[in-house]
Homo-oligomer: A and B are copies of this chain.
Amino acid sequence: MLTIELNEASADSLYIQLYSKIKTQIIQKELKPGEKLPSKRMLASHLGVSVKTVENAYSQLLLEGYIYSQAKSGFYISTLDDYRLSHTIKKEYHTKYHETSYKVDLKSNKNNVKDFPMSIWSKLLRETLSYDQERLLETVPFNGMLELRMAIANHLKAFKDMDISPDQVLIGAGTEYLYNRLIQLLGRDRVYGVEDPGSMRIKSVLDHNDVESYMIPVKNHGLSMEHLQEEGVDIIHISPAHQFPLGYVMPIQERLKLLNWANEKEGRYIIEDDYDSEYRYRGIPVKPLYSIDIRGKVIYLNTFSKIVAPGIRISYMVLPEPLMERYADNLSFYSCSVSGLEQLALARFIEEGYLERYIHRIKKTNSLQHSLFMEKLKHSSIARKLTFIEEDAGYHFLLRINTDWSDSEIKNFFLSHQILVSMLSEYTTQPLPEYEKTLVINDSNLSEEQMDYFIDAVLQLNHL
């Protein structure tokens, strides 16, 4: 008979204790394959428990395959393969993946979070939680909540001259997420192009999706049309309102060239990444390429993670209608990746004018802060060794340093001072002198102390 001790005081019920003790004996081969188990009644009386308790334990063992039953005979121990059944050894917990923090971070595309109207955002979330409880538990439509798609359509109409239907909007959890979908929509057999210099992040997304893609050199603030043709590019990714990282606005001539290129052949598309067009320090935001496209060749991509705050992961794209229909036919089985709560709150944040006011405010704050930084740099003792490029472009500018040091030496020097910077050469495959010794600086979230600390480091670099 089985030797099993059950504990009435245990948190586990008797049948679970019995089940797991028999299971352990089977695993440890104390009970041998083929061996017969005592009948339920016998075991129950032996252990002083109810027949029901034994019955439940046997059922679970049967369900999981540790025992089998033979009609009119009883229960037997199953034969198990020799794979060692054991738990992994408990390890001390330590987190490996923490982000390095820097004294000055001139790389991360973080907005000035202290200006975000968190109390309003919280209020909207709270109100949504109170008034829309039922809806929050429903499945979100594949393309996103209608309220948010309408708010986005109205916003684009008012601020970007884009005349679209809310049905052309697709909500997703981040630009890279939408990019993965786009590749599935447009086809993995197409050839993709990315500006050079340009977004290595997008190039990575393309590479990790195993699609053929090329870096296409920029030329005259547009793209080299020869390279586009030569590489056989079908789909080109650009940020015309504010080229990343060079910072210029793509002029109308180059925009029209690209539209004409797209129109020459079926299946050609332009992906317009409008990630920070709201933030130019001078002049009005430049209208997107989408607004002058009449043939459905432009896919418009934007994110609220950068406009609003990095903790809020909501991006969207506007697809030409035929593409949206193709998406609905083929890819709408994918669930929407953003939860309903934040979509509804964001819809109100836009509709009630908070977004506009916030953008206005942050432009002002960033612009003041940026002017201060420029002034400090231009009046520092190393000013004559510095060249400023696209310094009014918003979000980031280029700073060229007249030095003998190589790019990796410059970068490592700053890193040794706990300053994170990107070099322009990190965003290009072309080893051109004009792309060297140049920092890509994002100063949208910089305190005065950090400015001084950075300038002091540049001074030291100059003296070494």
Chain B residues, Cβ within 8 Å of A98? 141
A48 surroundings in chain B (CB, below 8 A): none
Residue from the list B85, B90, B97, B294 in contact with A332, Cβ < 8 A: B97
Closest to A187 in B: B210
Q: Which residues of B contact A141 (CB under 8 A)?
A: 97-99
Q: Tell me, in angstroms, the Cα distance from A60 to B60 when the chains sit together.
A: 75
Contact with B along A90-114 (1 / 0, CB 8 A): 1101111111000000001010010
Q: Which residues of B contact A94 (CB under 8 A)?
A: 165, 167
1/0 per position for A47-65, CB-CB distance to B under 8 A?
Answer: 0000000001001100111
- Tell me, in angstroms, the Cα distance from A161 to B79 when the chains sit together: 23
Stretch at the interface among A265-273, A336-344, A356-364: A336-344
When distances are taken between beta carbons in the complex, the residues of chain B under 8 Å from A446 are none
Pairs of residues from A and B, 6 with the lowest C-beta to C-beta distance, nearest first: A65-B251, A173-B337, A81-B256, A113-B137, A65-B252, A139-B310
Q: 18 extra interchain contacts, Cβ-Cβ under 8 A, other than A95-B166, A338-B339?
A: A16-B284, A59-B283, A63-B249, A63-B286, A64-B252, A65-B250, A80-B253, A83-B256, A83-B259, A83-B292, A94-B165, A97-B141, A110-B139, A113-B138, A118-B133, A122-B129, A139-B310, A312-B339
Which one of A176-184, A227-235, A368-376, A409-417 contacts B? A176-184
Closest to A125 in B: B129
Q: Are A84 and B338 in contact (CB under 8 A)?
A: no
Per the 8 Å Cβ criterion, residues 303-327 of A in contact with B are 305, 309-314
Known: A139-B311, A141-B99, A167-B95. A65 touches B253 (CB 8 A): yes
Chain B residues within an 8 Å CB radius of A83: 256, 259-260, 263, 292
- Which B residues touch A292, using CB under 8 A? 83, 85-86
Task: Tell whether A249 pairs with B64 under 8 Å between CB atoms, given A113-B137, A188-B210.
Answer: yes
Do A311 and B208 touch across chains, with their CB atoms under 8 A apart? no
User: Contacts A97-B328, A167-B95 known; A125 to B341 CB distance under 8 Å?
Assistant: yes
Interface residue tally on A, bucketed by range: 35 or more
Query: A405: CB under 8 A from chain B?
Result: no
Chain B residues closer than 8 Å to A143, beta-carbon distance: 97
Q: How far is the CA of A385 from the CA of B278 in the complex (A)?
A: 66
Please give the residue numbers on chain A whose beta carbons come within 8 Å of chain B beta carbons, in ascending order. Answer: 16, 19, 56, 59-60, 63-66, 78-81, 83-91, 93-99, 108, 110, 113, 116, 118, 122, 125-126, 129-130, 133-143, 146, 153, 161, 163-167, 173-174, 176-177, 180, 184, 188, 201, 204-205, 208-210, 221, 249-257, 259-260, 263, 282-284, 286, 291-292, 294, 305, 309-314, 328, 330-342
Q: Which residues of B contact A95 (CB under 8 A)?
A: 146, 166-167
Cβ-defined contact, B87 with A291, below 8 A: yes
Q: Are A116 and B91 in contact (CB under 8 A)?
A: no
Closest CB in chain B relative to A441 CB, distance in Å:
19
Let me know if B126 and A167 touch, CB within 8 A: no
Residues on the B chain within 8 Å of A63, using CB: 249, 283, 286
Q: Within the assembled complex, what's the spacing in Å between the Cα atoms of A180 and B129? A: 31
A133 neighbours in B (Cβ, 8 Å): 118, 122
Given A80-B256, A125-B341, A256-B80: A333 touches B167 (CB 8 Å cut-off): no
Sample (18) of A-B pairs whose CB atoms are under 8 Å apart: A65-B249, A65-B250, A83-B256, A83-B260, A84-B294, A89-B163, A91-B165, A122-B126, A122-B129, A126-B126, A137-B311, A138-B310, A139-B310, A173-B177, A184-B209, A205-B334, A312-B339, A313-B339
